[in-house]
């Protein structure tokens, strides 16, 4: 039996798809929205007011690069006035001097800074942005000078997984309270680049050992969160805490979604804020109710003792790999196609080997750009 519907407590606001970086692992959709399709200032402020009325306690301001919105301070101030906790998720490049302090004065509570490599060359290669590493380090220093808590987000894949020990030391040197070792999740641009990004199992196992040792060593000094790589997992993670269970996201054009990749489920229709109220969408949207709770589950999920732990895992991953959003997440060992995850890893390793053998000089990535790119078949 499904649990009663509770108000959401968290919201991810993708304010824009514009970004100075071109990261090939980006979770944004491959069909990026241009600036003329973004909600205007007042629409975002109205949306945030309705979110606070609905019960949202924290809003993650993301993108693309949210600091490209000139009205960001106004949004932060509006949320702060409602007592909503705000977290800025930023690439940390192209931010004018004084902007971080201005955001802090507007009421910003926290900054999460993404760094693509612990080494400058890696950061520049992945982000496709010259001088990006130094700009990120300067942003981190400005965050600390402004008195804001800092999280370093390290998106991990084949091309930087051996830098995990250096990421830990870098985060410490920057005075971060938290480090997120976030193994890339294969949706959006990361799915397009899966063969180029997938690490091998030995590297993943070394990474897990390094992180576990650091978590113990730095207990009480710096929190280290570890996002498990799904393709090497035994059990899946709950999607956003469970599909439309306690959080949601909003795309730059106001489309309200249960998670950032939900648009890939083409059988569902997602509504836009303004056409319906946020409360109405949260409560009554057929798309939000499609995979809520447990009643929708097929076997083996329906009778599984973990059904209210992982809530069936990721519906978008089931869609991408099984071709059915209601299927058991293939990351789960109980999935009848769990072995396909290993096959996809093997395919990626074969592609990497062929690339090395061919002495390829071109980058293996499809870099993130505002254009339409087809996602690979599962």
CA distance 1 to 294: 7
CA distance 127 to 91: 9
Q: Is the dihedral of CA 89, 30, 197, 377 positive or negative?
A: positive
Neighbours of 347 (CB within 10 A): 13
CA distance 256 to 245: 14
Using alpha carbons only, how large is the chain's radius of gyration in Å?
20
Q: What is the side-by-side strand order in the sheet with 256-257?
A: 223-227, 178-183, 150-156, 110-114, 85-90, 58-62, 10-14, 247-250, 256-257
Q: What are the binding residues for [4Fe-4S] cluster?
A: 19, 23, 26
CA distance 284 to 177: 39
Q: What are the binding residues?
A: 19, 23, 26
DSSP code per residue over 254-320: -BEESSTTGGG-TT---PBBTTB-HHHHHHH-HHHHTT-TTTTPPTTTTT-TTTTTTTTS-HHHHHH
Strand partners, 225: 180
Where is 250: in which H helix or E strand? strand 247-250
- C-alpha separations of 277 from 38, 48, 62, 63, 254 in Å: 18, 11, 22, 22, 11
Strand partners, 255: 272
Q: Does residue 108 sit in helix, strand or coil?
A: coil
């Amino acid at each position: 039996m499904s649990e009663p519907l509770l108000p959401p407590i968290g919201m991810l606001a993708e304010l824009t798809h514009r970004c100075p970086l071109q990261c090939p692992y980006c979770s944004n959709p491959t069909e990026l929205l241009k600036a003329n399709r973004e909600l205007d200032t007042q629409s975002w402020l109205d949306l945030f007011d309705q979110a606070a009325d609905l019960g949202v306690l924290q809003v993650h301001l993301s993108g693309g690069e949210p600091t490209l919105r000139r009205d960001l301070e106004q949004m932060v101030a509006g949320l702060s006035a409602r007592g909503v906790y705000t977290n800025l998720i930023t690439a940390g490049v192209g931010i004018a001097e004084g902007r971080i302090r201005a955001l802090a004065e507007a009421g910003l509570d926290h900054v999460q800074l993404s760094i693509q490599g612990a080494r400058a060359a890696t950061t520049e290669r992945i982000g496709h942005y010259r001088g990006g590493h130094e700009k990120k380090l300067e942003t981190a220093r400005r965050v600390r000078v402004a008195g804001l808590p800092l999280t370093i987000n390290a998106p991990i894949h084949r091309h930087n997984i051996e830098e995990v020990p250096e990421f830990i030391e870098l985060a410490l040197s920057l005075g971060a309270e938290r480090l997120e070792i976030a193994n890339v999740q294969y949706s959006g641009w990361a799915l397009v680049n899966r063969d180029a990004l997938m690490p091998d199992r030995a590297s993943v196992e070394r990474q897990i050992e390094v992180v576990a040792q650091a978590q113990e060593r730095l207990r009480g000094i710096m929190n280290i969160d570890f996002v498990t790589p799904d393709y090497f997992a035994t059990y899946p993670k709950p999607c956003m805490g469970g599909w439309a269970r306690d959080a949601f996201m909003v795309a730059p054009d106001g489309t309200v979604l249960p998670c950032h990749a939900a648009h890939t489920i083409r059988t569902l229709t997602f509504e836009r804020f303004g056409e319906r109220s946020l409360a109405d969408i949260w409560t009554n949207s057929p798309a939000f109710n499609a995979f809520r709770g447990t009643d929708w589950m097929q076997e083996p999920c329906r009778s599984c003792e973990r059904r209210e732990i992982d809530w069936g895992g990721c519906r978008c991953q089931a869609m991408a790999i099984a071709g059915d959003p209601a299927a058991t997440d293939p990351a789960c060992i109980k999935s009848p196609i769990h072995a396909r995850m290993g096959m996809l890893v093997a395919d990626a390793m074969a592609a990497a080997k062929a690339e090395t053998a061919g002495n390829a000089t071109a980058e293996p990535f499809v870099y993130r750009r505002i254009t339409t790119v087809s996602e690979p078949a599962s």
